[in-house]
Amino acid sequence: MEKELHIWMEQNNENNLLTNFQETQKALIDSVDLIHTTQPHFCNTKWITKYKIFVHMLDNECVEILLGTKNKYTNRNIRLSHNLEKLLLANEFGYATINN
């Protein structure tokens, strides 16, 4: 089974939803197979090599973030050097924040 990290851009009724930094960090360090969190900080290339990263946007779209040019919602070539959290919060992959 592939490991998955699901980042929710708003609270929901998902069971086992981690809502703080420490819980999410512990789950990642412990290599939990399936993680649901509200912490966009963990949308990070540090984890993209260990987990499939999915972001649940504010418009109910679920976006998988991939390395390279295979991303459906951006033409950007995603590299390990990118700050994925910054791109996510700038709405690069879809409707992630209401401020833009």
Could you read off the pLDDT of 66-80 as tens digits, one per residue? 999 888 888 899 999
In a domain, 100, yes or no: no
Q: What is the pLDDT of residue 80?
A: 93
Asked if residue 95 belongs to a domain, the reply is: no
Q: For the chain, how many structural domains are there in total? A: 1
**Both structure tokens of 58:** 């504010």
CB 6 within 8 A of CB 32: no
Asked if residue 98 belongs to a domain, the reply is: no
Q: Is residue 38 part of a domain?
A: yes
pTM of the model as a whole = 0.90
Range of the domain at 22: 4-89
User: pLDDT, tens digit, for every residue of 44-63?
Assistant: 999 998 999 999 999 999 99
CB 20 within 8 A of CB 56: no
For residues 12 and 9, what is the distance between their CA atoms, to the nearest angstrom? Answer: 9
11 confidence band (pLDDT: 50, 70, 90): confident
Residues ≥6 apart with Cβ < 8 Å to 74? 87, 92, 93
